[in-house]
Structure formats: C-alpha cells, structure tokens
Structure 1
Amino acid sequence: MGRLTTHVLDTASGKPGAGIRVSVIRIDGERRELGATVTNHDGRCDVPLLEGAALVPGSYELVFGVGDYFRAAGVELPEPPFLDEVVLRFGVADADAHYHVPLLVSPWSYSTYRGS
C-alpha cells in the first residue's frame, strides 16, 4: 500500500518544525487541495498525508506555511518574508510505493529529497 509522508526540520535552530501547516494538493489540470494537517512536536504528521487508494500516479504539491512558523517562533522576518509558503511540486509514478518528502528549512533557504 503506497503512502505519502513528510517531516520538517528547522535547520536554523536544529529542531523539528513543530506546528507547521501542510496542505496536500493534486495537480490534474487544476490544483485541488486534498487535505491539510499540522506537524506535531517532532515535526512529523501523525498519519500519512495520503495512503492506499487516495495516492494515485500524478503530480502533487506540498505547501508548508513556514512564514507563520518562524513568526510564531519569534524570528524577526522582513515584510514580506523571504520564504512564506514553501511549495514542493513532485511526481508520483508508483502509487504502491512510499513517498517521503521532507522539508529542511530556515528563514532564508530550504531543501528536500525523496526519503524512505
């Protein structure tokens, strides 16, 4: 059974990105939000973002509300912030596979990779 998971690491503080809103969007001619959640104290989501029949081949986006996270953490940001919403667009080719798409983020940069 395939599934989509994520976690967030605040690389500026070296801590998990707790309390970050994450939206899951499917791209199939139009952008359709499939759901949203908030990361837990460990920077992870309590359940997979998508799994089983809900995960089908195609293009997706994860949208992370990092501007709100850094503001809540007391980080002084310019207005507008350099990073407010981080959008990761990726493809799912095998709906039976595990797609782990983490976000490593600071107020000034981010990176991702396909994890396990």
Structure 2
Amino acid sequence: MTETAIKPGGISIHAVDVAHGVPAANLSVLLIRCDPDKTEIARGQCAESGYFSHPVSDGVGVTRGLYEITFGVGVYYRTNGIVLPEPAFVEDAVFRFGIDRISEHFHIPFKFTPWGFSLFRGGA
C-alpha cells in the first residue's frame, strides 16, 4: 500500500501551564513540516481546554517526515500578566520530531512553566 493510500492518523497537541495548573488557553502554536520542503502545516492558538483544534489532528496535511512545533511561551505569559525577565528564559519552545508511520496518531502533550518544558509522544 502506498503512502497516499494510507489515511494519516494526525497530530494532536494539548498544552498545560503547569506553573499555574491550568490549560494553556490562547498559547500560540506553529507546526511546520521540515522535509522534503519547509511547509507550514498549522498555525493558531490553543482553545480554553488547552487543546489545539485544527484539521491536522485528523491527519490533514500529515505526511511522513520531520516536523517542528514552536510554542509561544513568552508571549503567553506576558499576555496573562506574568512578569518575565528580559530576555525570558523560555521565549519559544521548539520541538522537532519525526513521523515514520503516518497511519499512527501522534499526540504531543506540552507541559511548561516560565523556566522549562516537557514534550513527549503521548497516547490520545
């Protein structure tokens, strides 16, 4: 079966501000496929639930390759009235990951504070 005949499983994202114990509503997300050409796949903000609601979650635009997600952590905290040092310790959190089997779903939980973050492939 060719890759074009396989339905992509999608990429879902759930962001939580663990410093304040809340879903990261309005956190900016940019998802780029890095190869074979650099292409923006998704851009937007997380919903009130912290989930990134975008067709990419259902596989739209997902192919085999290397991806990069950028989360706007510094802007998120400043917008929410949190004073950060200038420059902030974490301005943007960038995560690169690969997708080999496009039929699988890739859930990316993002847990963060102004001082660090955790990203991994979760189950969703």
Same fold (TM over 0.5): yes
Matches within 5 A, 1:15-30: 15-28=22-35, 30=37
Q: Closer, same or farther in 2 for the Cα pair 1:48/1:6, shift >3 Å?
A: farther
d(CA) in 2 for partners of 1:8, 1:52: 19
d(CA) in 2 for partners of 1:44, 1:52: 16
Normalising by structure 2, we get a TM-score of: 0.86
- Choose 31-40 or 2-11, whichever is displaced more: 31-40
Native 8 Å contact 1:24 1:49 kept in 2: no
Matches within 5 A, 1:44-59: 44-52=51-59, 54-59=61-66
Larger Rg: 2
Residue 71, structure 1, aligned to residue 86, structure 2: no
Report deviation, 1:82: 0.7
Tell me the SS of whatever aligns to 1:81.
coil
Deviation track 1:16-47 (CA, whole Å, cap 9, x = no partner) reads: 01101101101115532222011000111223
How many pairs are equivalent?
A: 116
Alignment gaps of 5+ in structure 2: 1-6
Alignment gaps of 5+ in structure 1: none
Query: Aligned Cα RMSD in Å?
Result: 1.5
Deviation track 1:35-86 (CA, whole Å, cap 9, x = no partner) reads: 2011000111223435446211110011111111000111110111111111
